[in-house]
Every structure is written in C-alpha cells, then in structure tokens.
Amino acid sequence: LAKTTQPISMDSYEGQEVNITCSHNNIATNDYITWYQQFPSQGPRFIIQGYKTKVTNEVASLFIPADRKSSTLSLPRVSLSDTAVYYCLVGDNFNKFYFGSGTKLNVKP
Amino acid sequence: ETGVTQSPTHLIKTRGQQVTLRCSSQSGHNTVSWYQQALGQGPQFIFQYYREEENGRGNFPPRFSGLQFPNYSSELNVNALELDDSALYLCASSLVGFTTNTGELFFGEGSRLTVL
C-alpha cells in the first residue's frame, strides 16, 4: 500500500521559496502523485499532479526523481496566505488512496 | 468553489446512534470518495464509489457504508456511532474510474460530526 511520509511542520518567511518533500516508497507503476493544500475547516484543494520528472503550473512545481520514491513540492515566493497544511497523495493498485500526515507550513512576515 | 456540496455541515449524535451524510458531486463527475479527518490529522480514505459500485475501501469497519445514486450523488452511513467517530467527514468527486490514477479530487467543505 502506497503510504506517504512528510515533515510535520516547516517555517518560512514571506518571499522565500519553500520545498516540501514526500516519501512514497511503495508507489505503484501507474500511480500519479498529487499535492493538496488545506486551510482550517475547509476541504483540501488541488495544487499540482505529476508522474515523473518535473511539472510546473501557475502556483507550484513538482519534482519527481527517476525512482519515483519521493516527490518535492516547490512553492516559489510564499506569502502569508500560503500558511496551510500540505498533503501528498498517491493511489495504489487497489484503489485505496492515502494522504500523508501533512506538512503544516507556517509563513512568517 | 468546487461545486461539491455536503450536508449537513454540523451535527451532534450520541453513542449508538446512526448518521447519514450526503454529498452532491461536481457536475460531470462519476466517482465519489469519502474521507474521515480527525482533528489535527490527515484525511483517511473510507471508500470510493464509481458508477454506483464501491471500488475501493480503506481500513474502516462494515458499520461504515455508502451509496451512490444514478445522478452520482452519494451518502455515507455510519451505524452504532462511537466516540472516536467524531471527525470532519469529507466527500470528494472526480472523473477517475477504474484506474490507479487518483486524478484530481474536488472536495466539499465537509460535515463536522460530534459524537457524545
């Protein structure tokens, strides 16, 4: 089963780049890696998804090494509003989807 | 806004009671999944429904059951409520069917259940 491991928390300052890494040693061949952002009392919101190498959209980049056993979410120039919990999600062959424990990102002024 | 709506937003039950939570999926989506999120924890996968059939289940006992209707809306039923069932229950819809690709999940705002 493709479970994930992330740092519990991270601190950053406004304007900095933040990199959050997720480990998923048992990722299946066909699985994609998806990252979500969650604010208190809200449902998670999709940030980015990738399969291998690098994916970039208007809010983030996702780096995936060749062995796909980990992935790194990169948030460029964070602001106070990026303070949230970030989860990585992978699916396994049995359609059981696991969120990681989440990384609480605290952005300071 | 994702278009996924859940009801009720908050409810209080007592131990041993039964509860039904409802979810309307985003237009055009045929897959619904349910998650339990305890305070300070990540969402835990309960099960997923694709075209009215359950096609994936997490480590939850049989007293957690669900339905998906022809319009792709869904219900989560929990029988014999326990104190530990107190949590935020999240519904997510997507276009992914019988694949291992999680796809993009569109979450509702959740139903906050308190069991006394």
Number of Cβ atoms within 10 Å of the Cβ of B83: 10
B54-79 pLDDT, tens digit each:
988 989 999 999 999 998 899 999 99
The low-confidence residues of chain A, meaning pLDDT below 50, are none
* Pairing label, strands B19-24, B111-115: unpaired
Q: What is the pLDDT of residue A96?
A: 64
DSSP state of A7: -
Nearest to B42 among A43, A96, A100 (CB): A100
B77-111 pLDDT, tens digit each:
999 999 999 999 999 988 765 444 456 788 999 99
| Interchain proximity A31–B100, CB inside 8 Å | yes
Q: How far apart are CA B44 and CA A36, in angstroms?
A: 14
Q: Are B48 and A95 in contact (CB under 8 A)?
A: yes
Report residue B34 as tokens: 């349910």
A77 min Cα distance to partner chain B (Å): 24
| Interchain proximity B100–A98, CB inside 8 Å | no
Beta bridge partners of A100: none
Q: Chain B interface residues facing chain A, Cβ-Cβ under 8 Å?
A: 2, 4, 33, 35, 41-45, 48, 55-58, 88, 90, 92, 98-110
Q: What is the pLDDT of residue B55?
A: 85
Polymer length of chain A: 109
Report the share of chain A in percent with pLDDT over 90. Answer: 64
Nearest to A91 among B2, B102, B109 (CB): B102
Q: What is the pLDDT of residue A30?
A: 79
Q: Are A34 and A49 in contact (CB under 8 A)?
A: yes
DSSP state of B41: S
| Interchain proximity A96–B99, CB inside 8 Å | no
Q: Are B23 and B91 in contact (CB under 8 A)?
A: yes
Beta bridge partners of B87: B113
> For chain B, how many helices (H) and strands (E)?
0, 11
Q: What is the pLDDT of residue A4?
A: 87
Q: What is the pLDDT of residue A29?
A: 84
Report residue B18 as tokens: 């039964």
Q: What is the pLDDT of residue B9?
A: 96
Asked, as a colleague might, if the bond just before A40 is cis with ω within 30 of 0, I would say no
Q: How far apart are CA A31 and CA B17, in angstroms?
A: 38
| Interchain proximity A46–B105, CB inside 8 Å | yes
Report residue B46 as tokens: 């309960």
Q: What is the pLDDT of residue B60?
A: 95
Mention every residue, 6+ apart, whose C-beta is less than 8 A from residue A52.
A64, A66, A68
Of B14, B8, B16, B24, whose CA–CA distance to B88 is shortest?
B8
A13-28 pLDDT, tens digit each:
999 999 999 998 988 8
Kindly tell me if the per-residue pLDDT of B7 is higher than 60. Answer: yes
